[in-house]
Structure 1
Amino acid sequence: MSVPDEARPSGGLYRSAHAAGDDAAPPPDGVTLISVDTPNPGAAVTGEQALPPEEPPDETSTAGNSAIMAAGSLVSRVIGFARNALIGMTLGATVGNAYTTAQFLPGQIYELLLGGILSSVLVPLLVRRRKADPDRGQEYTQKLLTFAGTCLGIATVLVVIAAPVFTAIQAGRGTPAYQDLVTAFAYLMLPIIFFTGLSALMGAVLNVRGHFAAPMWAPILNNLVVIAACGAFILFFGTDEGLGPETITTAQIAVIGLGTLLGMVAQTAGLLPALRKVGFAWKWRWDPRGLGLREIGRLGGWMLCYVAANQVAVFVVVSLLNSTSDSDDASVLAFNNVFLLTMMAHGIIGVSVMTALLPRMSAAAADGRYADVSADLSRGIRLTASALAPIAVAYTVLAAPLCVTLFQGGKYTPEMTFATAGVLRVAGFAVLPLSISYLCTYTFYSLQGNKTAALINIPVVAIRIAAYVLLFALLSASLAAAGMTAANALSYVASALISLAVLRRRIGRLNLGSVAGALARVLVAATLAAAFGLLVLRLLPGGARPERGAAILQVAVGGSVIVVTYVVAAALLRVREVSQVIGMVRRKLGL
């Protein structure tokens, strides 16, 4: 499950999320569904990482690229939410869970095959060859695409043949009919692995050649095709409430499953004109020895370890949630919808902070100025906390109207909607730890520490899996997805604490006193915002279970009150980072 997550010039521009689409499940943000770390392609080569671009783009070019990517990401996220909402409305709880479970598989397997090393190893190598080779890396890129495409094709065929094995693990203790449905969807959707990899490689080729628009906008084609498939499903088969694993027909499975596959095909095909525009011509060149596979393997080994640990956790959480898939309880579909909302908040705020700070931190680390690295990390945590606090409050206070507005309708029943709202309330407490853990991990990347980040991730994933199992055993089926979300939040906190402890040993004092003071002021402002938000929510029509019209009103009015209250309170408490973040995000969006 990946998400997702935002392209950025220095901290994840080439990540595999672009291949998967901004809101697909597993999404875009190159991040696995429950990952707290994303590789940084811009780290300098040591024993652990590959070379960054030698000549960064000028500020005017960077600003223009950022605006293009931000616009593409925003549009794709809006359309992606429409896509996910339609999936739920079209398929309902049980079939929607089966569909989402099958849809996770291509992303999980792709990350193991290529996604983990694409951004951290292959893209920097393409950049280096483009600068060093007389043909500007044309022949090397052709060799890489030939080898990677062939391996992806063979792997995809083998995975499709083994689909029942993967779905037996992923489908958990669902009924035989449910497991068969997951397998049927998987047969149609696992070929996405090949097109995801091809799209990611093509996007990397374009990015290395300075073309950023197409890789950011191509996922929109993916989402539109899936939306069209949902429309065709409703047109041809109606909205029968009795849809389930035992009653769904082969034609219905084909419309949704093939529509999802065709979405990824459309995304890949959408990059071909851009490749021609930048002058890249593909040619079959089979020369694995000429790729330097030993170097690629050495550089990508720790990233593979990192990704593999995350994918084990993904299999565990999906399997556990599928044990509740025979009812209308919030399960895989709801869990994924909420996770996308969590990643949206992180993408808008957390990534903006990291994009601004990472180049400075990398430069300071390269010069041995660890005090400056520490100061930037401290500043980043304060900025992130200050900006994400009102979003976390909104997710917690406005969970019900948000879920009604975004997801309710068709087969996504009110019961499913309000169960999803319970998951979102818990996710409100995960937003801030998620972004802080990312920021700590990016600090390791600035210090050229892929190995350290991978080693830290192992106990973090162990904590996450243990929390999954424990909470699943203690909670009822109706609270399972909320429990899994709480386990994620716990693992994010563990990741941040472990990372801060290791960073303190590596770079010295972290200025945590100033961080604690800022967080205390942010907490007071957020508490006041939550109190006023709850008060206004009680006064507005609709109550705790609003219809869509009342829900939209609650979101608009309640959200405005929360934001205004928080900003005023933060200003009175002298939380100066709030205004800084607003200005930074506006510059990122080109406003």
Structure 2
Amino acid sequence: MSRVLRASAIMAAGTMVSRVTGFVRTALLAAAISTAYVGDAYNVAYAIPFILFDFLIGGILSSVVVPMIVKRQKNDPDGGRAYEQRLMTLGTVVLTLVAVLAVLLARPLIGLYTEGWNARKIEVAVTLAQYILPQIAFFGIGAIAGAILNTRDRFGAPMWAPVLNNVVMIGVLVVYYLLLGDAGADIDKVTGADLALLGLGTTAGIVAQCLVLVVSLHRAGFRFRPRFDLRDAGLGEMGRTAVWTFAYVGVSQIAFLVTTRLSSGAGEAAPGAGNSAYASAFQLFQLPYGIIAVSVITAMLPRMSRAVHDGQLESVREEFASGVRLVSALLVPAGLMLMVLGPAVTVLIFSWGTMTIDSAVYIGNVLQVFGLALVPFSIFQLLLRVFYAFGDTRTPVFIGAGNTVVSIALSLLAYSLLPAEYVVMGLAAAFAITYVVGTAIAWTLAARRVRGLQGRAVAAGLSRMYVAALPAALVALGVLWLTQELTDLTPLSAAIMLAAGGGLGMVLYLVIAHRMRIPEVSSIVGMVAGRVGR
């Protein structure tokens, strides 16, 4: 566990800075363009490159590429260098072509992910998409570079590179707001030049992020040489494995498509309660997951892949179980805190510029519902890596298909039964229920694959963590109630709620968990104490 903890700490530090600057970026974005019409148009345009990237290569990086690079590093006479060069060559060519094609198809792509939008809103979204879609190539090249760095146990750069992206975008948004003020959120007043600043600025951030990763890879000893001898690239093996990953991503994107269309439709009926609110709450939900779970997952997958390659199933079981316990040690209290303090978080971040307190509180209500999903969602992602370590991309497709069916059914139910202003909250609840069900199914199948996942030990650890976290949540709830009794909800009172309620709650959790001798928390406390003592 100490190896995972050390590697995860390095990544978590970078991810923390990345997420904090990401919060500043998100707050400035909401302040500049709001979460109504311009905000919805931007968020849909911004999401499409990530959707296409995930479909084309994002999914296979962790499930196929990392295990195959590890295999080539072990088996090839040159340590896999030629394979890495072919991979980078292929990725660069394919992703550049996709980016060009996506720009040409911007209008039908926007139409696919929207529902009931008027002509002006569609036009703004299409224009933004044409400026933003080229980032597919840069994002993909950077991601391939990051994957190669991970197989060399170089985890820092992939976690720190997004910070530069956020800094660039923060600068762009400051300029945008200073130039336009409240007019920047008025869809009838923004001009083509305004949209160019917003769209090209977004792409410039991704270009900077890509350059950081490419330079880091060069410093790690990788030398890019275009290689088109793809016959030796192992594409047949990769294709046979990746076809199931494409299927998994495709199935997952069906659920995302439905969610996006339903939230965009709700936003037309209830401005401010649409796709932008859902996307903003989801980004905040991703903070603890990104800082804690992603760091552990990234460090864990190469090691599990090596253990599978060496036939050491016991190491796989131990790696997975320790990863779950380590992740849950912080995500259990974080999930409860989101459920209690969600509106305080969003009022502090979003109630500026063109945003109102009520709009920020609404995002916080959605975030509270997402808090239910934090632990099951994170464990689900860890479970998928068990299959990927075996090179099994087929089983996750069937699990993902089940998730999609549950998600779509619950989302449609929420859309048909709830008033427009509550639809997005219903979609967040559908997300949470989906991952509870999906985690139960994935756990059962993964346990069969590795002959057990130390389920009793994990369940016992989680139970003790929740016991330790409940008093912390009650303290946060008490501070929330007292603050609301004494003053109105403002950014200042929200900051007090978070500092007093969240801060005291987390300290109380760490103290109780440490005294309960929960080993993962004790390791975290010991590591922090050691750093402070130096």
Q: Which bracket does the TM-score occupy, shorter chain normalised?
A: 0.7 to 0.9
Residues in 2 aligned to 1:588 and 1:262: alpha-carbon distance in whole angstroms? 40
Match of 1:45 in 2: none
Q: Structure 2, unaligned stretches of length 5 or more?
A: none
Q: Among residues 102, 105, 116, which one is paired with 1:173 in the alignment? A: 116
Q: Among residues 299, 317, 324, which one is paired with 2:259 in the alignment? A: 317
Residues in 2 aligned to 1:355 and 1:148: alpha-carbon distance in whole angstroms? 21
Is contact 1:71-1:589 (8 Å) kept? no
Q: Among residues 328, 335, 341, which one is paired with 2:284 in the alignment? A: 341
Q: Does 1:78 align with 2:20?
A: yes
Distance 1:393 1:209, change over 3 A: closer
Distance 1:323 1:283, change over 3 A: same
Q: Among residues 415, 423, 434, which one is paired with 2:366 in the alignment? A: 423
Residues in 2 aligned to 1:157 and 1:231: alpha-carbon distance in whole angstroms? 29
Residues in 1 aligned to 2:218 and 2:450: alpha-carbon distance in whole angstroms? 46
Give, in angstroms, the shift of residue 322 of structure 1: 0.7
After TM superposition, the structure 1 stretch with the greater mean CA deviation from structure 2, 76-85 or 575-584, is: 575-584
Taking structure 2 as the reference length, the TM-score comes to 0.88
Residues in 2 aligned to 1:451 and 1:588: alpha-carbon distance in whole angstroms? 44
Distance 1:205 1:375, change over 3 A: closer
Distance 1:76 1:510, change over 3 A: closer
Distance 1:186 1:542, change over 3 A: farther
Distance 1:362 1:136, change over 3 A: closer
Is contact 2:12-2:292 (8 Å) kept? no
Q: Secondary structure at the match of 1:429?
A: helix
1:287-313 Cα shifts (integer Å, max 9, x gaps): 332323212201212211111111111
Distance 1:320 1:381, change over 3 A: same
Give, in angstroms, the shift of residue 210 of structure 1: 5.8
Q: Among residues 544, 557, 560, which one is paired with 2:500 in the alignment? A: 557
Give, in angstroms, the shift of residue 170 of structure 1: 0.7
Q: Secondary structure at the match of 1:246?
A: coil
Aligned alpha-carbon RMSD (Å): 3.4
Letter in 2 for 1:228: G
Letter in 2 for 1:289: R
Q: Work out the percentage of aligned pairs sharing the same amino acid.
A: 35
Is contact 1:386-1:575 (8 Å) kept? no
Taking structure 1 as the reference length, the TM-score comes to 0.80
Match of 1:31 in 2: none
> Any residues of structure 2 matched to 1:122-133 within 5 Å, and which?
122-129=65-72
After TM superposition, the structure 1 stretch with the greater mean CA deviation from structure 2, 309-318 or 270-279, is: 270-279
After TM superposition, the structure 1 stretch with the greater mean CA deviation from structure 2, 538-547 or 71-80, is: 538-547
Give, in angstroms, the shift of residue 581 of structure 1: 5.6
> Any residues of structure 2 matched to 1:133-212 within 5 Å, and which?
136-208=79-151, 211-212=154-155
Match of 1:221 in 2: 164
Residues in 2 aligned to 1:288 and 1:369: alpha-carbon distance in whole angstroms? 32
Q: Does 1:282 align with 2:189?
A: no
After TM superposition, the structure 1 stretch with the greater mean CA deviation from structure 2, 207-216 or 180-189, is: 207-216
Give, in angstroms, the shift of residue 438 of structure 1: 2.4
The structure where helix makes up a greater share of residues is: 2
Distance 1:466 1:303, change over 3 A: same
Is contact 1:140-1:291 (8 Å) kept? yes
After TM superposition, the structure 1 stretch with the greater mean CA deviation from structure 2, 166-175 or 202-211, is: 202-211
Give, in angstroms, the shift of residue 124 of structure 1: 4.1
Q: Secondary structure at the match of 2:182?
A: coil
Match of 1:40 in 2: none
Letter in 2 for 1:143: R
Is contact 2:64-2:241 (8 Å) kept? yes
> Any residues of structure 2 matched to 1:358-437 within 5 Å, and which?
381=324, 384-437=327-380
Residues in 2 aligned to 1:271 and 1:524: alpha-carbon distance in whole angstroms? 42
Letter in 2 for 1:487: A
Q: Structure 1, unaligned stretches of length 5 or more?
A: 1-9, 11-57
Letter in 1 for 2:92: G
Match of 1:35 in 2: none
Residues in 2 aligned to 1:146 and 1:362: alpha-carbon distance in whole angstroms? 24
Match of 1:464 in 2: 407
Residues in 1 aligned to 2:366 and 2:416: alpha-carbon distance in whole angstroms? 17
Distance 1:511 1:68, change over 3 A: closer
Q: Secondary structure at the match of 2:34?
A: helix
